[in-house]
Amino acid sequence: MGFSNFVKRFDEVVGWYPKEMPMEERNLVRKIDSLVLTYACLAFFTKYLDVSALTNAYVSGMDVDLNLGGNRLNYINAVYQVGYCAFQVPSNILITRIPSQYYLPTAEIVWGMFTLGTAFVQTYQQLLVMRFFVGFGATACYVGCLHIVNSWYKKAELGRRNAVYYSSMPLGTMIAGYLQSAAYTNLDGVKGMQGWRWLFIICTVITVPIAAFGYIFFPDTPERTKCRWMTPRQRELALTRLLDDGFGRSQGLNRGTLKRVLTSWQFYVFVTMNNLLWLSPYASGTPFTLWLQDSGKYSIPTINNLSTITSAVSIVSALVGAVYSDWRGNRFEMVFYSCLIILAGNIMLMVWDISDSAKFAAFILIGLANGPANLGIVWEAESLAHDPEVRAISLAFTNASNCALYLIIPLGAWQTIDAPRYYAGYVVSMVFSCLQLVMIPIALYMERRDRKFGRLNNVKGFAPEDIEVSPYTAAEFGEITEKGDLEKTGHVAVSSGSISSE
């Protein structure tokens, strides 16, 4: 079997390009993967590469060089969150108004330049300023790429693409650890600079070319794209196949949009549930790294390398969880399983009087369960597929509120001076997991109630006769586009699912 046949067979087995997909559509989806998913993953990767560099630099000498004792690491992370939260919802609205192929790469250049500036700070106060603007520049990345990626794919294609997109986050965290290990070993003292400073320079060198890739190849949304890399027929098919999948037309932003948001049960239930899910595995990040440092068993390069394990297992579990949830036709099972595993891991760490190998296993379990966490926000997006504007605002608010909580909760429950014990942090995480176990059946009940009374359309699990589609069929839409009357029809909503916060 040739390599191309092997790849084709593998695609069909994992459902990436289903066997029954027509060749014309398959070629289009391949191109969407190449242009849209590739840039989104690279941008999300560099965001977390730059963000994670701080923790790796901290345990590699930055804490001593800049006098970052006490809770200063918490305050630095809090300042980043302030910058990151400030523009979340406005950014997601703005990206619907201006070309994303220029907006997103420009934002990437901004945070890349302040990442570079971090390499040259001399004081704690200068570091605070740099991290604020890194956060401010990175605001557009997650919610922006989230919106664009999920404007191109049908429902059956979402789970796996969401998993790949999510995996860019732990991959960035992992690579930051490996880069810091290499910089500390090979570049410490070069040009009179410490190894941790070189990490931020290397991150910038990776970030800027990826932004350039976005300027050239990123195609914006299907309804606005003028992408030179797609034929007119492919641009038309990108829209009509989504109409055939049951997506309705956008209602636009108006005075009624806010009312629809505030009267939507999804806004309250999913925002709460997803924040609980994202906050409960906190221990798999900085606390794990600081525990490795406190153990006194490992060298600095080894600490940077070992700290990537939780990210590595989360990538595997994200991909496996996505395939499983697509196969089962629901998202709640993997969310439920993740919640139970995270709860078990935090209980082990709360007890603490266990062997180091058991603690190590607990951290890894939490990282493993963190992978399928993105399916919570996929569930939220699918439940709101009938109203694209409410979906966009709800997802942006979910991420913004999570950023706000990441600003507040670590300052109280995960204080650096408590490392590596973090008793309060593990207790809080356990409470979050227990609350989430309550929220899951509430979400299921509300969805099934709406389906029973016909209040929910365009949601995974509906029979075709239950779905209210756009007033234009795919064939009619093709006629409209041929006549050049697209502007008269309004914008077509082609958004659906989405993925994990950070």
> What's the confidence (pLDDT) of residue 436?
93
Would the CA dihedral through 192, 198, 201, 205 be positive or negative? positive
Residue 472 token pair? 């234009």
Helix (H, G, I), strand (E, B) or coil at 224: coil
Q: Is the peptide bond before 420 cis (omega within 30 degrees of 0)?
A: yes
pLDDT in tens, the chain (502 residues): 565 565 566 566 566 888 888 999 999 999 999 999 999 999 999 998 888 888 888 988 999 999 998 889 889 988 998 888 878 778 877 877 788 899 999 999 999 999 999 999 999 999 999 999 999 999 888 878 887 887 888 877 877 888 888 888 888 888 888 888 888 888 888 999 998 999 999 999 999 999 999 999 999 888 788 888 999 999 999 988 887 776 655 666 677 888 888 989 999 999 999 999 889 999 998 899 999 988 888 888 888 889 889 989 998 998 899 888 888 888 899 999 999 999 999 999 999 999 999 999 999 999 999 888 778 888 887 788 777 778 778 888 888 888 888 778 888 899 888 888 899 999 999 999 999 999 999 999 998 898 887 665 443 333 333 333 333 333 333 333 334 433 333 333 333 333 334 4
**Which secondary structure element, helix H or strand E, spans residue 357, and what is its range?**
helix 356-370
User: Who's near 268: CB < 8 A, 6+ residues apart?
Assistant: none
What number of other Cβ atoms are within 10 A of residue 494's Cβ? 24
Three-state SS for 456? Answer: coil
Burial of 424 (0-12, 13-18, 19+ CB in 10 A): middle
7-220+231-489, what's its fold? Growth Hormone; Chain: A; (1.20.1250)
344: which 2 tokens? Answer: 């078990």
State both tokens at 356. Answer: 């180091």
What does the domain layout of the chain look like in residue ranges?
Answer: 7-220+231-489
